[in-house]
Amino acid sequence: MLIEVARKDTLSTPTAISLFTDRTAQFVDRLGWNLCATPEGLEVDEYDDVGSSYILIHDGVRHLGSCRVRPVASGTMIEDHFLNLFPGASAFFHSQQGTLYELTRFLKARDLPVAQSREMLRHLAVALDRFRDDVNATGFVAVVFTPITRFLRRIGVRFITLATAEMDGQPVQMICITHAIEAHHLLPYYEMMLSDEPVEATLSAA
> In the prediction, which pLDDT does 182 show?
60
Q: Residue 104: which CATH number?
A: 3.40.630.30
Do the domain assignments include residue 206? no
- 123, 77 contact by CB (below 8 A): no
Task: Give per-residue pLDDT as tens, 112-133.
Answer: 898 888 888 888 888 999 999 9
* Full domain range(s) for residue 112: 2-201
d(CA 88, CA 66): 28
Query: Which residues have a Cβ under 8 Å from the Cβ of 23 and sit 6 or more positions away?
Result: 42, 43, 105, 107
Do the domain assignments include residue 67? yes
Q: How many residues does the chain have?
A: 206
Task: Report the Cα 39 to chain-centroid distance in Å.
Answer: 24
Task: Give per-residue pLDDT as tens, 18-58.
Answer: 999 999 999 999 888 889 889 999 999 999 999 999 999 99
Number of domains the chain is built from: 1
The pairing of beta strand 170-179 with beta strand 139-145:
antiparallel
Find, among 98, 27, 12, 104, the residue nearest to 63 by Cα: 12
What's this model's pTM, rounded to 2 decimal places?
0.84
